[in-house]
Structure 1
Amino acid sequence: MEFLKPLQTDLAVEARENIVEQTSAPISGLHVENDENDEDVTITRVTIDSDQAQQMVGKPKGIYVTVEAPGLRYKNTPLSAKVMNYVAQELAKLLHVSSDATILIVGLGNWNVTPDALGPRTIDKIVVTRHLDDLLSPELKGGVRRVCALAPGVLGLTGMETAEIIKGVVAEVKPQTVIAIDALAAASSSRVVTTIQLSTTGIHPGSGVGNKRFGLTEDSLGVPVIAIGVPTVVHASTIAMDTIHILQEHAAFARYFKSLETLSDQDQQKVIRQVLPDILGDMMVTPKEVDRMIDDIAVVVAGGINQALHPNIDYENIHMYLH
């Protein structure tokens, strides 16, 4: 059976959903675990550990965890705190480093372009401690890892590939793990700035929007790379698909889309992909409130990282402890 590739997406959960829609047969080496104990937050863990699953899903072997909370689209401080805790818990499970390990956190993206600024804005909120070894109080040592952070910019701003910059820093700092933060592309508009993905496979900056750069992976950097990303854009064809589905379900308009009822989602995707390029090309779409949403989600991502890396610190009072 020939599988239709999913709409451009960096989310493994969406790539897996696309395959499931096309076949009910189990896929060897593809394991999914859902945690829906919280009515506000859904956690999905996708593990890819076979060549077959890797080829069918279109994602490298590894573990992918998504934390989804539709309410993040709105200003909701209690929910943000809850998601922050979930991110910290899931990140702690993926980290395999000692309590005195050095961690390099990299915020990828262009700080001048809001939908691509998640990485740099998150870095602004990371608690860096590598320079404080001799200043931390005895009760904090052992529960505070040596953390350093960098927002290297993008090729168009620096004239250097991001991977080149990070390779040089890794060679000098010698971290045990790199955590790379980046904005992603989704295949579902409902997941824009409401979903956080953590993975053990590293990251390929710009891949979700068709602008592939050199990857930041364990193979390229020589140390494990954990990627944390949030979808901030969707492809224009996704908006078209969502619109068609809504109109098909709306009684007043359903009769106009009667002919499309016989087409599967995959066939509808093919039609849209054939029609849109001449009109919209590779246009990417982002919410009009993206500036506020990026700031809010950056706080959540940074808070989750801080809690996972510094488990013995009361996050609410962390600045008091370190100054």
Structure 2
Amino acid sequence: MIEKYSIRTDLALEDKERFESDNVEVQGVSLKEDYDEEREIKVTTVKIETENGAKVMRKPVGTYITMEAPNMAVPDEDYHDEISKELAKFLARFIKKDKEDFSILVVGLGNRKVTPDALGPYVVDNLNITRHIVKEYGKYAMGEEDVRLVSAIVPGVMAQTGMETVEIIKGIVRETKPDMIIAIDALAARSSKRLNRTIQITDTGINPGSGVGNHRNAITKDTVGIPVLAIGVPTVVDAATIVNDTMENLILALESSETLRGVGVVMQGYNAAEKYELVKELISPHLNGLFVTPKDIDETVKRISYTISEALNMLFSRGHAHNQEMGVI
């Protein structure tokens, strides 16, 4: 049955949820949840600890932290500042603190000309880039006592460059020798309620384009030679998911009707994956491959990209005392 679980999502949290909904226990995978009632932020940590768990989840061994905040799609500056601070704290868990000249390469993945895919480039636009200044004048030129070297690249997509993104990054890593890569990319979700309201952090690297079926070569420690931290926000959901959710609601409506009760019994016998596969066949070929995004995606992506860039700026471009006060270090 497990191999039939092909519902498309980039979120490890949703992968874990779909097994739990069918009472399938995945060995080697743990889940921990925390909820901040005051700020309405739910944090779920999924740890894939064994190769068996990785095979079943179809994701690499590692840690996946998911921040869910329903109000993230709302233009509230104070709330987004809180999200930035929380995000900076979680990112700090993956950053070494024992090296004075720690160098970070931020990679903004995606296509700037396609709004739902422009998250990565927009984040880079708002970053405080420091590597060139520190290299030229020393860290005290920044007016801070603890400055990390931050450089950034927006490599574009293969249709624009003719090159695999990982090929570009490997060349940059070889020349500039950063200690770590932080890659930012737009993701696909299983649930429309998580669109633009969720941020996933993982230490396993990333497969650019995987959410919409464009499987490019992975950007991981194995392929580029240094640790890769990935930050992603789901901005699209595929058509089959929307139809599937609608069908679930229809079944519930049929069962609550006195005259139509029993019509949905056959469908209730299908598990989640089988229903999804049936929907994909029903909407094929016209809607297969169709991805949907909210109508206010332009403003939303710009706002969330700024929230992420502010978290990175807090983490890398401010003094030691400030970060201690904020709880980042």
Structure 1 residue 263: Cα displacement: 3.7
Q: Are 2:317 and 1:310 aligned?
A: yes
The structure-2 alpha-carbon separation of the partners of 1:240 and 1:309, relative to structure 1 and needing over 3 Å to count, comes to: same
**Does the aligned pair in 1 maintain the 2:7–2:273 contact within 8 Å?**
no
**Counterpart for residue 72 of structure 1:** 72
CA distance in 2 between partners of 1:243 and 1:226 (Å): 35
Structure 1 residue 208: Cα displacement: 1.1
The structure-2 alpha-carbon separation of the partners of 1:46 and 1:287, relative to structure 1 and needing over 3 Å to count, comes to: same
- After TM superposition, the score normalised by the length of structure 1 is 0.90
**Counterpart for residue 35 of structure 2:** 36
**Counterpart for residue 131 of structure 1:** 132
The structure-2 alpha-carbon separation of the partners of 1:119 and 1:34, relative to structure 1 and needing over 3 Å to count, comes to: same
Q: Are 2:258 and 1:258 aligned?
A: no
**Does the aligned pair in 2 maintain the 1:247–1:253 contact within 8 Å?**
no
Q: Secondary structure at the match of 1:31?
A: strand
Q: Secondary structure at the match of 1:279?
A: coil
Q: Are 2:281 and 1:274 aligned?
A: yes
**Does the aligned pair in 2 maintain the 1:3–1:19 contact within 8 Å?**
no
Q: Secondary structure at the match of 1:295?
A: helix
For residue 201 of structure 1, what is the amino acid of its counterpart? Answer: T
CA distance in 1 between partners of 2:307 and 2:268 (Å): 40
**Does the aligned pair in 1 maintain the 2:22–2:271 contact within 8 Å?**
no
The structure-2 alpha-carbon separation of the partners of 1:198 and 1:249, relative to structure 1 and needing over 3 Å to count, comes to: same
Q: Are 2:233 and 1:230 aligned?
A: yes
* 1:78-117 superposed matches below 5 A: 78-97=78-97, 98-117=99-118
Q: Secondary structure at the match of 1:278?
A: coil
**Counterpart for residue 146 of structure 1:** 149
The structure-2 alpha-carbon separation of the partners of 1:139 and 1:306, relative to structure 1 and needing over 3 Å to count, comes to: closer
Structure 1 residue 245: Cα displacement: 3.1
The structure-2 alpha-carbon separation of the partners of 1:138 and 1:170, relative to structure 1 and needing over 3 Å to count, comes to: closer
Structure 1 residue 273: Cα displacement: 2.0
**Does the aligned pair in 1 maintain the 2:237–2:292 contact within 8 Å?**
yes
CA distance in 1 between partners of 2:145 and 2:253 (Å): 58
**Counterpart for residue 5 of structure 2:** 5
Structure 1 residue 286: Cα displacement: 0.8
Structure 1 residue 280: Cα displacement: 0.7
CA distance in 2 between partners of 1:61 and 1:213 (Å): 19
**Counterpart for residue 166 of structure 2:** 163
**Counterpart for residue 321 of structure 1:** none
For residue 287 of structure 2, what is the amino acid of its counterpart? Answer: L
Consecutive unaligned residues in structure 1, runs of 5 or more: 316-323
CA distance in 1 between partners of 2:11 and 2:56 (Å): 14
More deviation in 77-86 or 137-146? 137-146
CA RMSD of aligned residues (A): 2.2
CA distance in 2 between partners of 1:180 and 1:308 (Å): 15
Consecutive unaligned residues in structure 2, runs of 5 or more: 324-329
CA distance in 2 between partners of 1:83 and 1:176 (Å): 26
**Does the aligned pair in 1 maintain the 2:10–2:188 contact within 8 Å?**
yes
- After TM superposition, the score normalised by the length of structure 2 is 0.89
Structure 1 residue 2: Cα displacement: 3.5
**Does the aligned pair in 1 maintain the 2:255–2:264 contact within 8 Å?**
no
